[in-house]
A = this chain, B = another copy of it.
Amino acid sequence: GYKGLAVESTDGAFKFHVGGRLQIDTAFVDDDKTRLGSGAELRRARLEVGGTMWRIWGYKFQIDFGHGETKIKDAYIKFRGFKPVSFTLGQQKLPFTLQSWTSNKWIVFQERALMNTFIEDDSIGRRRFGFKAHTHRIIHGNHWTAAAGIFGEGVEHKGPFNESWAPMGRVTFAPIAEKTRVLHFGVDSYYRHYPPNPDLSFTAYPEVHSIPSLLNSGVISGTEDALLLAGELSAVWGPFHAQSEYIHAHVGRKNGLPDPDFYGWYVQAGYFLTGESRNYEPEEGRYGQIFPQGIVGQGGWGAWEVAARFSKLDLADSGILGGVENNITVALNWYATPSILFRMNYIHAHTDPTSIAAGLGVDENVDILGLRAQVVW
């Protein structure tokens, strides 16, 4: 089938699949002061195997070979024996914000909004070694999910996990969660405590991965801990969808150094010209795969979507001169089949003259055309 290989025992107690994804990116950039350079990139090239055994045990192993590196993304064991709570042990993605918890395959734009830097940074971590509990309940017709976990370092880090540790949690609430109508709220928290000198810094590529960062906080010396708080809001109304999120990041420092507070947010909206709706998954509080009404190769023309996003990131506070960036993106997406899609993003990025990245007192205006071809199997 179109999902690669998926086999299942007749009673459903055993499942196994081999899957993967390729994301082939090209970017053309009109740079300003900082030399950026257009580029092509194999953004993601993933292979995964996973399965279910004796109905309540699961596992997943996923590796990314994209942009010249080999990185383990998922390597976990799942236990579903204490319903309605499931437990996940091992290397896994942390449930933090809607855009991050939604797979990169099914976010509306080529890349997540700028504020994703707060958890994507290597010193904080979107994927970490740890233990998570997750549950989904329907109470008076309202969908709730709750997830909490404790995490150490990532699988590629050699350092001792107990010198950095992070409890985190996410709660979502969806009073409407129908096929074509959704209303979703969420709150997230993520705390990480560090050993001495953790090299914490934030940078953010301008929403196309192959383009270098325009912002850079530099290493924030004396960092002791970091606290991230976020809020989520999203809705679907037939072919129309909208989404907005905010992250506040507080960095705690020692030796009387002032504690910087950073923040980022975005608001986006989209519309399926061909009438499809965004696919909400209430069990996980996120969006999933898009199924076009007509498939290219079976007489159809696929699904066509237009979308726009405003995105802001502020990394300038308490003497940290990381800069401020405001991005506007317009997007055209073509879902030729459920497994094959093509994205076109046009991004205008503006940075304020508060960043040491390009040189203090300098602002930049950068225009980027991003193209992506994606296959999922």
Q: Which residues of B contact A337 (CB under 8 A)?
A: 53-54, 57
A63 contacts across to B, CB distance below 8 A: 47, 65
Contact of A53 among B2, B20, B65 (CB under 8 A): B2
Contact yes or no, B340 A37, CB < 8 A: no
- Nearest neighbor of A161 in chain B, beta-carbon distance: B40
Task: Flag whether A257 is at the interface (Cβ < 8 A).
Answer: no
Which residues in B have their C-beta under 8 angstroms from that of A291? none
Chain A, 12-38, contact with B by CB distance < 8 Å: what is the 0/1 string?
001010101010101010000000011
A69 to B339, CA, bound (A): 30
Q: Is A138 an interface position by the 8 A CB rule?
A: no
A262 near B: Cβ within 8 Å? no
A160 to B54, Cβ gap below 8 A? no
Tell me if A2 and B18 are in contact (CB < 8 A). no
Q: Is the beta-carbon distance between A375 and B77 smaller than 8 angstroms?
A: yes
A295 at the interface (CB under 8 A from B): yes
CB distance from A49 to the nearest CB of B (A): 6
Determine if A59 is an interface residue (Cβ-Cβ < 8 Å). yes
Q: Give complex CA distance A18, B153 in Å.
A: 29
Answer whether residue A42 sits at the interface, using C-beta atoms and an 8 A cutoff.
yes
Q: Closest CB of chain B to A196's CB: distance in Å?
A: 13
Determine the chain B residues whose CB is within 8 A of the CB of A295 once the complex forms. Answer: 54
Closest to A25 in B: B129
* Chain B CB within 8 A of A4 CB: yes
Nearest B residue to A339 via CB reads B53
CB-based contact A90/B161 at 8 Å: no
Q: How far is the CB of A123 from chain B (nearest CB, A)?
A: 17
**A4: which B residues are within 8 A, CB to CB?**
16, 49, 51
The contact string, 1 if C-beta is below 8 Å from chain B, for chain A 145-156, is 000000011011
- Does any Cβ of B come within 8 Å of A68's Cβ? yes
- The interface residues of chain B lying within 8 Å CB-to-CB of A321 are none
Judge if A166 is at the interface, Cβ distance under 8 Å.
no
Which of B61, B68, B129, B159 interacts with A20 by CB under 8 Å?
B61
The 0/1 profile, CB within 8 Å of B marked 1, for residues 34-77 of chain A is 00011110100101010101111101010101011010100111
Complex partner residue of A377 from B59, B163, B375, B377, CB under 8 angstroms: B59
Which residues on B sit within 8 Å (CB–CB) of A89?
24, 373
A158 surroundings in chain B (CB, below 8 A): 67-68
How far does the alpha carbon of A336 sit from the alpha carbon of B129 in the complex, in Å? Answer: 22
0/1 per residue, A260-303, Cβ < 8 Å to B?
A: 00000000000000000000000000000000000111100000
A77 lies within 8 A of B160 (CB) = no
Given contacts A5-B5, A40-B129, A57-B340, 7 further A-B contacts (CB under 8 A): A1-B9, A22-B76, A24-B76, A39-B162, A45-B155, A57-B375, A81-B297
